[in-house]
Amino acid sequence: MKEKPIKVGEIFEAEITGISHQGWGIGRIEGFTVFVPGSLVGEIVQAEIDQMKKNFAVAKLIRVIHESPYRMIPPCYVYDSCGGCQLQHARYEHQLEMKKKIVEDALRKIAQMPEVEVRPVLGMSHPWQYRNRIQLHVKIYHDQVELGFFKPGSHELISFRECLLVPDVFNHIRSFLQEELTTYKDSDNLSSLRHIVLKISAYTKEIAVIFVTSEKKFPLLPKLAQSLSGRFPEVVSVIQNIQKKESGVLFGPRWQHILGKEKLEDKIGNVLYSISPGSFIQVNPEQTLILYDQIRDFADLKGGETVLDVYCGMGSISLQMAEKAGQVIGIEEFPEAVKDADYNARLNGFNNVQFLAGKAEDLLPELAANGVNPQLLIVDPPRKGCDPAVLSAIAKMNPPKLIYVSCEPSTLARDLKTLGQHGYQMVTVQPVDMFGQTGHVETVVLLSHKKSQASSPSL
């Protein structure tokens, strides 16, 4: 085995020549790949090897010897330690260019589609204070309760006074709760408090606070809820979630209503959504509207079409399609999300929408056997992408038009390669910046089947 040209702890200088899918700069030492978070393409940096893997290393930036003209001083004082924002050191217009390159590189290297054209990223008017949700972890020290974020890849808590990606009221609530909980630091049950989740409706400006505990008994909570709602009138809902398992899953199956409303309401475009505490909704309301406008534009519904929405969640995209489609069928594995979707369809008066609970790879063949022939199929999978069995079922159903919504370029590219093998080709690739200051990017891809394209000039 060839010996690696560098070891952990060694300091080196290198030119940054590329960008990774996480937004990290890429340098090379004798051809060996080194990722340097916090660096930009074109810079010459000094860095120290922090982690050594089989085919690459990760280094800690020490100093920038030659700066990019796009570099700026990160405004967040815990930027270096928190790790939640990977791109605050880059001017926003350059962040959008970086994200376009990340999508292009994934399509070129993974999907093996070097000729595909990627549109410029649709950016934000104000790339700060955009998040409608925040998850705080809880740590109890000798004399203090701390609420903050975990450093990536660890359980090291990074406390903060102000996160620049959330509304000011979230920062005030965090400080208030930290002070309040510290007064109860000697309570026997306080150690069962794991996380606190804050959610805000962009439409009503109302806030829900969710306390995630390892035990059902948490006697401090009613009093804490009263103090919280008395100090912040915007807090209209306090919920307890019981998560006994120590896993990467935030919420457990059991919920307890403590105070106020059980659900928040939000609005995207013309559609109103009632949102259960555990339901997923996009974290950036302003860009969600832009994202959904793009999906509607790609769908180009004339009226009367049958639309399938796979991984539909609480029906957020399905209901956007329902305004023009003849029939919409949403598929979602989690029954609780399907209940929300059904409720939201009734809330908006849509009687042309049906939601099915189950795995897509099982339900798609059943729908096809029952004569369902969609003109449009939409997939919006989690970060890990589509299950291979889902892609196979889609190919057998063979809808003429497909829209793939992705929050992870690498799994998007992998799945597009598979869909290409089933006769689908990309028509348009449109990235949307849902996550300013971070390395994440949302992408909407319009695909058509080659056979249907030959018979449908509009595609």
Q: Is 407 a catalytic residue?
A: yes
Q: Is 323 annotated as a binding residue?
A: no
Compute and round to an integer the Cα radius of gyration of the chain: 24
DSSP string covering 54-122, please?
SSEEEEEEEEEEE--TTB---S-TTHHHH-S-S-TTB-HHHHHHHHHHHHHHHHHHTS--TT--BPPPB
Give the distance, in angstroms, between the CA of residue 154 and the centroid of all CA atoms in the same chain. 20
Q: Is 332 annotated as a binding residue?
A: yes
Could you tell me which of 329, 349, 336 has the C-alpha nearest to residue 397?
Answer: 329
Helix (H, G, I), strand (E, B) or coil at 12: strand
What backbone torsions phi and psi does residue 29 show, to the nearest 5 degrees? -120, 110
Which spans in 232-310 are helix H? Answer: 285-299
The active-site residue out of 76, 82, 85, 407 is: 407
Give rounded-to-5 percent helix, strand, coil for the chain.
25, 30, 40
Q: Is 311 marked within a binding site?
A: yes
- For strand 254-260 and strand 235-242, is the pairing parallel, antiparallel, or unpaired? antiparallel
Place of tokens 């903050």: 148
**Cα dihedral 289/290/295/300 (nearest 10):** 100
- Distance of alpha carbon 358 from alpha carbon 345, whole angstroms: 18
Residues designated as active site: 407
Binding residues for S-adenosyl-L-methionine, as ranges, are: 282, 311, 332, 380
